[in-house]
Structure 1
Amino acid sequence: MRSVVVQHVPFEGPGLIAPALFAVGSTVSVVRADLGDALPTASQLDVLVVMGGPMGALDDHEHPHLAQVRSLIADCVLLGKPVLGVCLGAQLLAAALGATVRRGPVAEIGAGVVEIASADDPVLSPSGSRIPVVHWHEDTFDLPEGAELLARSGLYAHQAFRVGTAYGLQFHVEIGSQELWEITPHLPADKKIALAEIDVVESVGVRVLERWAAFAAAVVKEAR
């Protein structure tokens, strides 16, 4: 199984997603789109992961690669390949599927929770009605046509969704202690996250990502 991670900034890598994919027998290649790395075609991968970043999903003028990322996402969705979009990645997934992405009412930054809106999603629902996460966004999106809402928060109604084999997570569950060290210098001074808070996020996030990786592996196996 070949997994490709599209990274947009140095401090938002795959984090806990990579070991979850390794555990199901996948290779993991990181494409630094911000450094000009060439994106693969949908036929060259089995699983696509698109990470976060401070830019907007439609900021093509400043970040020309974003249009190519949206096109790759759309191709993967069309082919039924597993996709995971995290934060900006979720916004790019929504935009790639024709939904509106826009600035939200207020920045949502720091350790928090989301409420799970689906009772039978194989990835998120087993963790219960609320899960601890890291929030770090100001933008939001409408749900793409045919999408199922999976999670919400008090500030944002659309926190996670699924379309076929594609998942969009506006929040972060892939951040552990190492990732906290990497993102902390980039957080607003009044929004620092404690290591104890990350420990809680990581304990749940590891299980969420294990289930997602198992889901992705099953989709890939069935397609072969």
Structure 2
Amino acid sequence: MSRPVLVLTHAPHEGPGLITRALDELPHRIRTVLDTPDPRLPSLDELGGLVVMGGPMDADDAGHPGLAAERRLLAEAVDADVPVLGVCLGMQILALALGGELHRRNGTEIGFAPVEVVHDDPLLAPLGAAPTVLHWHDDAVALPPGATLLARSATTPVQAFRAGSAVGLQFHVEIDRTLLDLWLTTPVMVDDLADGDADLIRTQGAHHLPGLVPAAVAGLSTFADAVRARG
């Protein structure tokens, strides 16, 4: 049996969603170490892969001491060629772990909008050249040294990157209808939206998700394949 994938979360409503579906029968564990000063994280030889999910905090927020432990584990995982996937906040933590910079309040992107895919990568290939995906962020990162830019938008120059065994995605390929409905009924997610924005995002989701979900699962399955290859 493959070694388990560790999924690190930062908010109860921001779970792995479609990533779990793509992992299929692969074992995985979900943990939250956000506010633990010295969390006992598994050693890399115990892990088949590492996934770091989103959350509302800043990636360098010293008020959440567990983030420093996540950065250390991410840097070690990339050095050890362990398959890594970072999503939204997870992508920003990954970028910091690899020597990139965080740009706070770079520009708000919330809702479904296209990104431009600028480099072929197995994880993004099923989405197409200009997929419409879900955004929910206002921070951004600079491309880490040595990383390859995979996707961009006008507001966010680094929407996705690859660095060795790791892929970072600023947008949310893990979203399905159930997870989107959860977000749109979670006060911390919607309280700052303008009137009508939640209804608009729900309508956008009904239009885009039927095509986006199978493409996202196909791309995420390449991450699962990398975990299987690690054994």
Contact 1:111 1:133 in 2 (8 A): yes
Greater alpha carbon shift after TM alignment, 177-186 vs 167-176: 177-186
Once the two structures are superposed, residues 116-142 of structure 1 have per-residue CA deviations (whole angstroms, 9 ceiling, x without a partner) of 111x21121332211121111111111
Decide which of 177, 197, 200 is 2:204's aligned counterpart.
197
**1:198 and 1:172 mapped to 2: Cα distance?**
12
Q: Percent identity?
A: 41
What amino acid maps onto 1:100 in structure 2?
E
Q: 2: CA distance between counterparts of 1:11 and 1:218?
A: 26
Aligned AA (2:165): T
**Distance change in 2, residues 1:222/1:14 (3 Å):** closer
Gaps (5+ residues) in structure 2?
Answer: none
SS in 1 for 2:77: helix
* Structure 1: tracts of 5 or more residues without a match: none
The alignment status of 1:158 with 2:158, answered yes or no, reads: yes
1:77 is paired with a residue whose SS is: helix
Distance verdict in 2 for CA 1:48–1:13, change over 3 Å:
same
8 Å CA contact 1:115–1:130 kept in 2: the answer is: yes
Q: 5 Å matches for 1:131-210?
A: 131-184=131-184, 185=187, 186-187=189-190, 188-190=192-194, 191-192=197-198, 193-199=200-206, 200-201=208-209, 203-210=211-218
CA drift of 1:38 comes to 4.3
Verify the 8 A CA contact 2:107 2:156 in the aligned structure 1: no
Kindly tell me the number of residue pairs found equivalent between the two proteins: 219
The equivalent of 1:54 in structure 2 is 56
Give me the whole-angstrom Cα distance separating, in 1, the residues matched to 2:146 and 2:114: 25
Offset of residue 78 of structure 1: 0.7
Q: When you count strand as a share of all residues, which structure comes out higher? A: 1
Q: Which amino acid aligns with 1:110?
A: G
**Any residues of structure 2 matched to 1:79-98 within 5 Å, and which?**
79-98=80-99
| Correspondence for 2:31 | 31
Give the structure-1-normalised TM-score: 0.90
Q: C-alpha displacement at 1:217, in angstroms?
A: 3.9
Partner in structure 1 of residue 23 of structure 2 = 21
Quote the offset at 1:194 in angstroms: 3.5
For the 8 Å contact 1:149–1:161, the answer to whether it is kept is yes
CA distance 1:175–1:212, shift in 2 (3 Å): closer
CA shift, 1:72, in A, is: 0.8
Aligned in 2, Cα 1:153/1:205: closer, same or farther, shift over 3 Å?
farther
Length-normalised TM-score, structure 2: 0.87
Identify the match of residue 41 of structure 1 among 40, 43, 67. Answer: 43
CA displacement at 1:203 relative to structure 2: 2.9
Q: Deviations over 1:78-135 (max 9, x none)?
A: 11011000000000000000111121432111121211111x2112133221112111
| 1:94/1:141 contact within 8 Å kept | yes
- Tell me, yes or no, if the aligned pair for 1:175 and 1:198 is still in contact at 8 Å: no
Q: 1-side partners of 2:213 and 2:44: how far apart?
A: 27
RMSD: 1.9
